[in-house]
Each structure stands twice: as C-alpha cells, then as structure tokens.
Amino acid sequence: MPRRHWALLLTGLALFPSAGCAPSDSVTIQGCGATFPAPLYKRWFLEFYRLFPDVRVNYQAIGSGAGVRQLEEGLVHFCATDEALSAKRLQAIADKLGQREHKKFELIQVPLTAGSVALCYNLPGNPELKLTRKPYVGILLGEVTSWDDPLIGSANPGLELPSLPITFVRRAESSGTTFVFTNHLSSIDPRWTKEKGGPGKGKSVDWPVGIGGKGNAGVAALVQQTPGAFGYIESGYAELTHLPMATVENRAGHFIKPTVESSLKALAEAKFDKVFGTTVPDPKDKGAYPMVTFTWIVCRKHYDDPRVAEKLKAVLLYALESKNEGRGQELSEQLGYVPLPEKVLKAVRAEVEKIAGPGAESAFSRRAPRTAR
C-alpha cells in the first residue's frame, strides 16, 4: 500500500471538524469496537461527512470485545468486531436490549471489509525473514527464545540471525485480531489447543509468554521500540508504522506475504452462515496467505429515531460501494485492506437495506450526493 495513502488519512483525520461546527440539524452516529479496521472506518466516515455534513459518525477503536459490550449495554448505535458473533450470541444481545427497553429487538451483522494479520519483528537491519510454522508457534509457547535458534535459521539459509532474546508482543485487551491469530494457531498445531493443554483460541487467552500492547497501534509501537520484538498486527498498521512483515509458510508449504492478492485467495474459501459468520483459519490454496479475516459491524435492524436508521444505512451502503472511484471498497484497497468480492457485496447490501426506523420512509439514500471538495 503506498505510504501517501496513510499520510492522506492522517492529515484528513486531523482536519475533521469539531462537533461545534456541525449543522444544527445534524445526526451523530456512535460506534466503537475493533482496532483492526479503524483506519479505514475513520477514512470512510470522514469522506462521508464531506459529502453529507449533517451526518457525523463517531467511531472509537477500543477493541472488539469492549465494542460488543458497549452495544449490549445500549451505549452505541453499532459495534465492530473481527470475530463474527454466532446467531445465539446475537440473540442474547438482542434479548438483553429488549429487557432494558421493554420491546423486541433484532440485530444484523455484516462484513464491510477484510484484511490479514502480519507477523512483525524488530531485528538489526530488519532483514527479509521467512517463518515456518513450528518456530512461530514455538516462540509463543516459550520454546523458541532466541533469534539464532536453528528452527528459525533453517528457513533462512545465508541469513546471519543475531543472538538476541525474542520478546513477544501481544494484545493486552479482548481483541478480534487475537481471535483470528489464535484460531489460526489452534488449526495448525495441536499443542496450542485447549485439548492438549494449550491456550486455545479466543479474543483473550492466557499467553505463556509476552508483554501486552493496547490495540494494533499499541502492539506496533512496542515492536518498534523493543529490539528483538516479535508481534502480530493487522497488516495495514504494519505498513503504516514501517514494520517488516515475515513471509509465512502456508498450508501448501509455500512462503507467502500478506498482500491483497494472497488474502483474496484465502478468503475465497470462506463459507458464510445465516448471520454472515465465517472463519478461514488455514486456507488450502497454494497462493493463499494463512492468517486472514473479514471484519464485521453489528447494529440494530430498527431504530426509534428514523434519522439514525436512514443515515446509518446510507453510511454502510457508501462503505459497500464498489463501482465509484475514491469511495467505499476502492478506499479499502488503497488503505491496505481487502475489498469484498462482488457476490458477497450483493448479499451484504441486501441485508443493510433492512435497517429502518419506526415505519418512516427514507429519501436519504435516494438523495444525490454533492461532489466532495
């Protein structure tokens, strides 16, 4: 991903107007959750604001687990998660909201984009590094403790690796990125599974080793600051922070970098359930990068305020645009994420169209947007 896109993103966010500058009839939509898609979400919401200054989306990147809890408590209009919620969990959240507000609730869950989890490191000179599966699982289990371990060296002939302790950096909070990573680890090595006494998979696990960083940005910062560090980060954050990303062995035995193309090959194997949930913990394609995920938003199907319903729907449909230059899914690819395949987009758009207010017909989505300046 070109560096200039990240520079434009950060500049744009710095220029985002304060709430006091918004039109008096504006609507503010509150969302929170996953840090994995946060740079893209903030860019989408900024660009949408430029088109429609009466619509503000305030998104707080606090982690997938915390975001789901905020939605469950009725504190936000939507949450974002890198681990799709099951139909049972969605119903439990809807029931809790219903008990609080004394009416029936339905939730919808849809993916908006996808991405990959990169394995990043901080070594002298930051050489191109290949990692087979056994050593990176060994690092996390505390069995591989130095960068000059033969298990690492065997995949990197001719590369003089330093006798430097490995410091594993992981997420400190409940995180969908952690779920994606540990789901992958559980699928490739039985030692990681709970059945074999390992940490298992989840948004939060009992890591055998390591230090914690807050969010993808926090992990990236710690890896940057710590000689010998090794951590898992959303690949867009790795690109943003100039961290090297390991070339990782996939299921077919090929060494693959996290790119849009290699991630698309992996995600092509995904099969969605009735609430758009899916995982691809270890894709089979020989060109697939092995650690990928969709990332989802969860919201109510109906809102008491018809303005919130119509404008949240419009924001999400904007994010799902695939035919207009500089919008929606094209921005996703520009910022290092993976755009959704067209057949997935069609199904997701149909689900988003179900968002509604208390019977009021919306003309918002039919309104012709002004050209952004």
pLDDT digits 0-9 by tens, 149-175: 999 999 999 999 999 999 999 999 999
Supply the pLDDT for residue 24.
Answer: 55
Cβ atoms < 10 Å from Cβ of 351 = 16
Residue 10: band (very low, low, confident or very high) from pLDDT cuts 50, 70, 90:
very low
pLDDT, tens digit (0-9, with 9 covering 90-100), for 241-276: 899 999 999 999 999 999 999 999 999 999 999 999
Give percent of the chain with pLDDT exceeding 90.
Answer: 82
Please give the structure tokens belonging to residue 285: 């394609």
**Is-contact 327 335, C-beta < 8 A?**
no
| H or E stretch at 2 | none
Alpha-carbon distance of 358 to 305, in angstroms, equals 7
**Is-contact 264 338, C-beta < 8 A?**
yes
Would you say the pTM of this structure is higher than 0.85?
no
Mean pLDDT within 39-60 = 96
Supply the pLDDT for residue 369.
Answer: 43
> Which region, left, alpha or beta, applies to residue 231 given φ > 0 means left and ψ of -120 to 50 means alpha?
beta
Q: 163: helix, coil or strand? A: coil
Distance of CA 311 to the CA centre of its chain: 23
Mean pLDDT score across all residues of the chain: 90
Look at residues 178, 136, 174, 181 and name the one whose alpha carbon lies nearest to residue 155.
136
Classify each residue of 277-309 as buried b or exposed e, where b means 16 or more C-beta atoms within 10 Å of its C-beta: bbbbbbbebeebbbbbbbbbbbbbebbeebbbb
Residue 90: band (very low, low, confident or very high) from pLDDT cuts 50, 70, 90:
very high
Supply the pLDDT for residue 203.
Answer: 93
pLDDT, tens digit (0-9, with 9 covering 90-100), for 291-314: 999 999 999 999 999 999 999 999
Supply the pLDDT for residue 275.
Answer: 97
In this structure, what are the phi and psi dihedrals at residue 174, rounded to the nearest 5 degrees?
Answer: -60, 125
Q: Where are the alpha helices (DSSP H) in the chain?
A: 3-14, 38-51, 64-72, 87-101, 133-141, 150-153, 176-188, 215-225, 235-240, 260-267, 306-319, 328-334, 342-352
**Is-contact 284 251, C-beta < 8 A?**
yes
